Structure formats: structure tokens, C-alpha cells
Chain A
Amino acid sequence: KNQVEQSPQSLIILEGKNCTLQCNYTVSPFSNLRWYKQDTGRGPVSLTIMTFSENTKSNGRYTATLDADTKQSSLHITASQLSDSASYICVVSKFSKLIQGAQKLVFGQGTRLTINP
């Protein structure tokens, strides 16, 4: 069964601290891996997209890593801010066997991050 598992489920840190969120996946055939940020009650917003050949990608204070061999990814947040409080969702895209170009996204359950002042 295709799965994307994230850890921890929730995390509380103090403002200014760094943190790392984890994602393990078994989705196949792998196309790319994405990290999304979702504020409560809002739609997810893309942070990074990484293909098989990319090991790391940054977006401001967010840095994602990908190890395609071990099927693991991490999202590192540097110097956290109160506005970083949100759910962070790991999403793996797989190639569709039936329709070329179709995006089949498999979502993790997310990590709920709370930044305290």
C-alpha cells in the first residue's frame, strides 16, 4: 500500500529555535516529493518540490532534503517565527500508469507545529 508517514505528529518549540520534521514514504513509482504548509482552515501552500535527483532545496528559512534511496525526507525550519505555526504536510507524487501527466498525490497526515513566544 502506498503510504506517506510523518513524524512527529505534533511539535511545540520556542520562537527562534530550529526544528526538523520527518517524512518516510513507500509510494511507487516515485515522481517527486513536496512539502506544503497549511494554516488552520486554509488551503495548503507549496514550500518545495524535489525530484528524484535533488538532495536538497531551500525556500527562505525552509530547507527540505530528500534521500531517494532510503525514501526519507526532512523539512528543516531555521530561526522559527510565530507565523510558522501551522501544519506541515509531506506529499509524494507518483507517476500515473494510465494517464500521462496525471498527478497522483499521496498525502501524509501532517505535523502540527506550534511556535510559542
Chain B
Amino acid sequence: EAQVTQNPRYLITVTGKKLTVTCSQNMNHEYMSWYRQDPGLGLRQIYYSMNVEVTDKGDVPEGYKVSRKEKRNFPLILESPSPNQTSLYFCASSFKGSSYEQYFGPGTRLTVT
């Protein structure tokens, strides 16, 4: 089944403790992206990747890192999480090109205390 998977689905952590949220897709998509969704703000792009070893900042990249060492994986790294990073995070993927549909993962609900 074609899908985007994220792990973990739920995470509660404390300020400053490094964490990684994994994202994997099995559709051979070149393009992958991370978003956060907060009440009243809609989805906002954190980082995106056009292909292996090609990444760029989105609208809200501060406090996040990403890497794209393999085509199927695009992990999101929070080196020192803070409470303002409490949010619902979505990974998405698509073929390269602006008219291709993006497929979203199921989401990761992160709480930083």
C-alpha cells in the first residue's frame, strides 16, 4: 500500500531533550516536506527536500533540522525542544513538480513541557 508513515504518533517530552520524528514514504517520491499545524494558524511549512541531499527552509524553520540521506526517509530533528514547538506535525511527499498531489502522513502530536 502506498503511504507516508511517521513515528512516533504521540510524544511527550521535556524542554531541551533532543528528539527525532521519522518520516518514510514508499512511493519513490523525490519531494518531501514537514509541516506543523497549530490552532488558528493552519499548516505551515518547516523544511522541504527536493531530492537526496537537497533540502531548504520553509516558513518556520527555527529550532528544527532535517536530513535527506535516502530517498524514502526525511527525519525531523529537534535538537533542543521548547514548549512553543508543541504542535501537530505532518510529513508529506510527492513527485517533483508543482502540480503533483502531496500525500500526507498520519501526523505526530508532540507536547514539550
CB of A25 to closest CB in B, whole Å: 13
Q: Across the interface, which residues of B come within 8 angstroms of A105, CB to CB?
A: 33, 43, 45, 102
Q: A109-B41, A110-B42 are in contact. Are A101 and B96 (CB under 8 A)?
A: yes
Please measure, in the bound complex, the distance between the C-alpha atom of A75 and the C-alpha atom of B90, giving whole angstroms: 24
Contact partner of A103 (CB less than 8 A), chosen from B41, B98, B107, is: B98
Q: A51-B99, A101-B98, A107-B42 are in contact. Are A44 and B48 (CB under 8 A)?
A: no
Contact A43 B104 (CB under 8 A): yes
Q: How large is the interface on A (under 10, 10 to 19, 20 to 34, 35 or more residues)?
A: 20 to 34
Contact B33 A109 (CB under 8 A): no
Contact B106 A103 (CB under 8 A): no
Contact partner of A45 (CB less than 8 A), chosen from B35, B94, B96, B104, is: B104
Please report which residues of chain B, range 65-97, place their CB below 8 angstroms from some CB of chain A when the two chains form the complex. Answer: 88, 90, 92, 94, 96-97
CB of A83 to closest CB in B, whole Å: 18
Q: How large is the interface on B (under 10, 10 to 19, 20 to 34, 35 or more residues)?
A: 20 to 34
Please measure, in the bound complex, the distance between the C-alpha atom of A95 and the C-alpha atom of B100, giving whole angstroms: 13
Contact B99 A43 (CB under 8 A): no
| Residue of B with least CB distance to A2 | B59
Contact B107 A102 (CB under 8 A): no
Instruction: Spell out B's residues near A (CB within 8 Å).
Output: 4, 31, 33, 35, 40-45, 48, 50, 56, 88, 90, 92, 94, 96-107, 109
Instruction: Spell out A's residues near B (CB within 8 Å).
Output: 31-32, 34, 41-46, 49, 51, 89, 93, 95-96, 98-99, 101-105, 107-110
19 new A-B contacts, CB < 8 A, other than A89-B43, A103-B98, are A32-B98, A32-B99, A41-B109, A43-B4, A43-B90, A43-B92, A43-B105, A93-B99, A95-B98, A98-B56, A99-B50, A99-B56, A101-B96, A102-B48, A103-B94, A104-B45, A107-B44, A109-B40, A110-B42
